[in-house]
Amino acid sequence: MDRIEKVINGEYDNHMMPFLWMHGEERNVIKDYLEKIAGCGMGAVCLESRPYEAFLEEPWWKDLEFITGECERLGMDVWILDDKHFPTGYAAGMIEERYPQLRKMYLTVRSLDFVGPKKNGRILLKWLKTDRPNIMNVGAEKPELCDSDCGETQVLGVLAARKSGDREIDEESILFLPYEEEKGILKWDIPEGEWSVFLLSATYQGGEAATEGYLNPLQREAAEVLLETVYVPHYERLKEKFGTVIKGFFSDEPRLGNVKGPDASIGRYEMPLPWKAGMESVLAAELDLTEQELMKRLLLLFLGDSAGAHEIRYQYMDFISRMYSENFSNVIGNWCTERGIEYIGHVIEDNNAHARLGYGAGHFFKSMSGQDMSGIDVVLHQLMPRQNRHMFKSFTSTGWDGEFFTFGLARLGASLGHLDPRKKGRTMCEVFGAYGWAEGLKLMKWITDHMVANGVNYFVPHAFSMKDFPDLDCPPHLYAHGNNPEFTYLDILSEYTNRLGFLLSGGKHGGNTGLLYHAEAEWSGNYMLFQKPARVLSENQIEFDILSADMLTQSRTVGGGQIVVNGQKFCSLIVPYAQRLPEKLIKSLVRLGENGLNILFIDELPEALSEKGGDIGLLNKLHSVSRVCTLQELPEKLEGETDRLITDREVPYLRYYHYFHEDGEIFLLFNEDLYENLNIHVTFPTDQPLHGYAPMENRRVDLPREGEGYSITLAKGELMVLYTNTAEEKETKVGNVLSQAAVFEAVNAFSLKNQHWTVEVGKGLGGPKQQIWEFDSLPDLDRISELEDFSGELIYRTEFSSCLEQMSLVIEEVNEIAEVHLNGISVGRRISYPYAFDLTGYSIGGKNVLEIRVVNNLGRYRKDYLSQFIVMEPLGITGDVVLYSRRNDLIEEG
C-alpha cells in the first residue's frame, strides 16, 4: 500500500496543530516555543489570545507578523482563534460596546395565578418584565423599587389558561388577551375557576452569565460584526500570508448560551429560550399561523406534555438550529471560502449538549455546517479508561456521562467528517486540556488512540502556554519552559499521531451500518440517546457512522437495498427509540425501506409524528418495511454484508475501524483497556491476505495467518494496523512481532528483578540532586521519603552476562516513560504499553550493561487541583523486568 510505504519512509504530512497561548510575551520566548513545537513533530500552531490584552492593537499585529515569519521559516502552518478570549462570540467586546441590539436575546414566560369569577379585574403585569427584586434582604437599606430596567424587554403577548394541576394547564382554554403595555395593567373579566396569566416577552435579560453581552448567533448581522471586528483586520493586515502560512480561523465553543450547562433539553428544563428580534413574524409565516396563534403555541414551549406541546418544541428547535447554521456557521464559513482559507473549530458537545440549548448549538450536524473540518474536544477528564458506564464525578458538580464520551463523541465527530463533502474526510479533536499535571504521555497516547480508532485524524493538543511556569491555567502544559520532564519524549507521540492521521486520510471510511442521530427525537418527546446503540456496535466490533435526519432525506438508493451518503454505502440503519419523528423523515424511511434498506428500530416504532397534522398512515407503512429489536438483539439482527469483525469470544474493549484506499484496505485494532492484555483470534471482512504495521515503531510486523483468521495479541492500550495490498511492496525491514504484541516467541525468560540495581536521580523537580542508591533487587521507590514529591528522570542500571544475540527486554510496569540503553547505545523509547525492546544487535557476548531511564509526569510534584481526578501511579519501575530469548541458553547475572 502506497501510504504504508510513505509512512515507513517518513513521507507523511502534519496532523498536529497545538494551541499556543499568547499573553504578550517577549520575542525570544515566542521564538523558542515555535522552535520547540516544530522540533517535537508538530507542523502547525493555533494562536490563542489567553487573553492578549492588546488584541487587535499594534502589539498584537507585530507579534503576528513575527510569528508568521518564524512559522514560514520553520515550515509551519498557522490557525488563528477568532476572539479575544474563548468562547467565540465576545467579538472583542464590540457587541456590547457598539451593537447592543445584537446581543443574545431570549424568549421568557412569567406567570401569575388568580381565581375567578372577577368582573373588571385589573392585574399589574409590568413587574413580570424583569427579574424579581430583592425585597426580603433584612437589615440592608432597600432602594426604591422601580421598573426602569424593563426598557429592553418587549412584550410579545399576554395569555391566560385554566389551571388543571401544579404547573399544568388546560391547553384548550388558552386565551390571547389584549394588553396596554404602556400602562402595565391587564384589564380582564376573569372567568370562574383557577387561572394563570402569562406574559411572553423578548428580552436581553438573563441567559448564561459567562457569555453575557455576547453576540446573538441567530442573527446574521451579529456574525458580520465578528467578521468585521476580527476576521477582516487579520486578513487585511496579513493578506499575503493567508492561504499559505495562515490556513484560516478557529471558533472555540460558540453556543446559544441561554442558560449555563449541558442539560437544557427543550421541554424538560426551565429556562429562557434563544430568540431574535422579529422572530415571531418569521416563525409564524413558516408555520402558516397568525402571530396570535403563534403566541398560544409558544406558551407550550414551556408547559405541557401534549402532542401540541411536542410539536411546537420540535418546530422551534428545528427553526433555531437552522438559524444558527445559516446566520452564524455558514456566514463565517462562506466568508473564509471566498478568500481561499478555511474555517475550523468545535461547539460544546458535553453530556449530550450537542442536541440541546444552553451550552449547545441545537444540532451538532447543523451547527458545524460552515466549518471545513468536523470538530470536537475532550477536556477535564471527560474521557478516562473504563469510566464508560455511568455519570462519574470529576471537575463538574454533575459529573461526566462516561457512555457518551466513550461511545458517542468521537464517532459523532468522525461521522460528520466522513459524510459531509465540505469536510473532505477530516475530523479534528482538541485533546489533553485541563486534565491536570497528572496526565502524562501514557494517558495522552490512550486518548489519541481512542480518537483515531473512531475516525479522528487531526489533533489540537491543549496546550503550549508561554506564561512563566507554573501557569495555573488548565494544565498540563506540554513544554512549560522546559520544566515538563516528559517534553523530551513528546516527539514520539507527535510522529505516531501524524503517521496514523496520514494513514486514515485521503480515502473512505468502510462502515456500512448507519445509526440515526437522535436530536429530532429528543425535541419531539421520549427518546433514546444515540450512544446506547453505539455502545452495542462498538463492543461487538461492528463498524458504523451516525447519520443526521437530513442526510437520510437527501440520500440516494442503489442496488441491493443500500443507500449512499457522500459516496459511502450503508446496508442497514438503526433508529434509537423515538416516541415521535418528523414526517419528512418518516417518509424517507418508508422510501428507503421499500427499496430494501434493513431498518431496525430499538424497542418500539414511533407512536406518532412530530407534527400533529401529519399523515399518520405513514406509521403503518413504516411498520411494514422495518423491524423492531432490543439493544441486546441488535448484533444478530444486522443482516447482509455488515462490516464487522468475527472474534472467538466477546471482547468489549476491542475497538475496530475500517478504512479504504484505492490500493488497499486498512483495519485498525485498539485494545482500549489499560488494565489487561488481549489475546484473540479474529476473522476480518476481506478475502485478501493481511499484513501488519506497528505505527509506534514505524515498521511492518509478521502476521501469520491461522485458518480463516489471525491470532492477535494486543498489550494494554495498544493499537495495531493491518492492511491489504493490491500493489507489490518494496523490500523493507520487517520487525519482530515482539515489539508490536509484547509477546516474544521465546523458550527462555530470565527475570532481572532480583539483580543488583543502582538508581540515580536525574534531572527533575521536588527531589534530591545527584543521589545514587544501591539495591539487591528492583526497589519500591515510593518508600524513599526523599522522592515523595519527585517528578523527573530516574536512571536504573544493572548488568547481565549472555552469549545470545537475539534477545528482547520487557518492562511489565513502569511510570511512565522508559528509555533503554544497552552497552551505552540507545535501544528505544516507549511512552506506553508494551514496554518491549528488541535487543538484537545491541547485546554482546559476556557482560552487558543495561540502563533504563524512567520519566514520570509532573503530577507528583505539582499536586495541582485538576490532578485529584486521576489516580497517580507509583514511582519508577513497579513490575518485573524480563529478558527473553529464542534459544534455551544461559543468561546470567552480571
Distance of CA 664 to the CA centre of its chain: 29
Chain region(s) in the chain for CATH 2.60.120.260: 748-893
Q: To 5 degrees, how large is the angle CA 109–CA 111–CA 115?
A: 155
Instruction: Report pLDDT for 728.
Output: 61
In the prediction, which pLDDT does 736 show? 42
Segment 139-168 shows an average pLDDT of 75
Q: How confident is the model at residue 235 (pLDDT cuts 50, 70, 90)?
A: very high
The β-bridge relationship of strands 508-509 and 427-433 is: unpaired
Of the candidate ranges 66-70, 448-452, 544-548, 616-620, the one whose mean pLDDT is the lowest: 616-620
Please state the CATH superfamily assignment of the domain spanning residues 13-98+216-262+342-504 in this structure: Glycosidases (3.20.20.80)
Fold (topology level) of 510-637: Rossmann fold (3.40.50)
The per-type count for the chain, helices as H runs and strands as E runs, is: 23, 51
The mean per-residue pLDDT over the stretch 742-757 comes to: 77
Predicted local confidence at residue 861, as pLDDT:
98
Query: H helices within 743-827, ranges in order?
Result: none
β-pair type (734-735, 699-701): parallel
DSSP 182-250: TTTEEEEEEEEEEEEEEEEEEESS-S-GGGTT-B-TT-HHHHHHHIIIIIHHHHHHTGGGBTTTEEEEE
Mean pLDDT, range 133-150, rounded to an integer: 56
Buried/exposed code over 235-248 (b: 16+ C-beta within 10 A; e: otherwise): beebeebbeebbbb
Grid cell for residue 788: 515523595
- In percent, the amount of the chain with pLDDT more than 70 equals 94
Query: What pLDDT is stored for residue 135 in this prediction?
Result: 62
Strand partners, 464: 20
- Regarding beta strands 791-802 and 757-765, do their DSSP bridges make them parallel or antiparallel, or are they unpaired? antiparallel
Each residue's pLDDT tens digit, 575-630: 999 999 999 999 999 999 999 999 999 999 999 999 988 788 999 999 999 999 99
> Over the chain, what is the mean pLDDT?
94
| Chain center to CA of 656 | 18
Q: What pLDDT does residue 398 have?
A: 85
Output the DSSP codes for 14-27.
--B--EEEESS--H
Could you tell me if 658 and 511 are in contact, meaning their C-beta atoms sit under 8 angstroms apart? Answer: yes
CA distance to 143, 349, 382, 517, 574, per residue, from 528 (Å): 50, 17, 21, 10, 12
**What is the average per-residue pLDDT within 504-532?**
98
Q: Which of 66-70, 744-748, 857-861 has the lowest mean pLDDT?
A: 744-748
132 pLDDT band (50/70/90 cuts)? confident
Q: What digits encode the pLDDT tens for the residues 539-551?
A: 999 999 999 999 9
Q: Is 867 helix (H, G, I), strand (E, B) or coil?
A: helix
In angstroms, rounded to a whole number, what is the distance separating the alpha carbons of residues 674 and 386? 8
Q: What is the pLDDT of residues 373-408, one digit of tens each?
A: 999 999 999 999 999 998 898 888 889 999 999 999
Task: Please identify which residue in the block is written with the cell numbers 413580570.
Answer: 128
791-802 and 846-855 beta bridge pairing:
antiparallel
Rg (CA), the chain: 30
For residue 80, the cross-strand partners are 47, 249
> All 3 cell numbers of residue 41?
513533530
- Give the number of other Cβ atoms within 10 Å of residue 647's Cβ: 18
Query: What pLDDT does residue 803 have?
Result: 76
Architecture of 748-893 per CATH?
Sandwich (2.60)
Per-residue model confidence (pLDDT) at position 735: 45
Q: What percent of the chain has pLDDT over 90?
A: 87
Positive or negative, the Cα torsion across 451, 453, 454, 458? positive
pLDDT at residue 96 is higher than 80:
yes
CB 156 within 8 A of CB 295: yes
Provide mean pLDDT across the span 748-756.
94
558 in Cβ contact with 569 (< 8 Å): yes
Q: Does 139 have pLDDT greater than 70?
A: no
Is residue 747 over pLDDT 70?
no
**pLDDT tens digits for range 244-293:** 999 999 999 999 999 999 999 999 999 999 999 999 999 999 999 999 99
Model confidence at 742: pLDDT above 50:
no
pLDDT of residue 734: 47
* Region of poorest pLDDT, from 142-156, 438-452, 516-530: 142-156
Which own/partner pairs from 233-242 qualify as long-range (CB within 8 Å, at least 24 positions apart)? 233/56, 234/64, 234/80, 235/339, 237/61, 237/64, 238/64, 238/65, 238/68, 241/68, 241/72, 241/78, 242/339, 242/340, 242/341
**Among 566, 554, 221, 553, which residue's Cα sits nearest to residue 426?**
566
**Is 1.10.3450.40 the CATH number for 646-741?**
no
- Looking at residue 471, the DSSP 8-state letter turns out to be P
Counted residue by residue, the chain has a size of: 894
What is the phi/psi pair of residue 210, to 5°? -65, -25
Residue 459 has pLDDT above 50, yes or no: yes
Give start-end residues of each CATH 2.60.40.1180 domain in the chain: 646-741
pLDDT on residue 649: 95
Cα distances (angstroms) measured from residue 603 to each of 104, 111, 256, 578, 607: 40, 39, 33, 9, 12
Identity of the residue numbered 790: F
User: Is 90 exceeded by the pLDDT of residue 640?
Assistant: no
* pLDDT at site 744: 45
Taking 90 as the threshold, does the pLDDT of residue 814 lie above it? yes
pLDDT category at 892 given cuts 50, 70, 90 is low
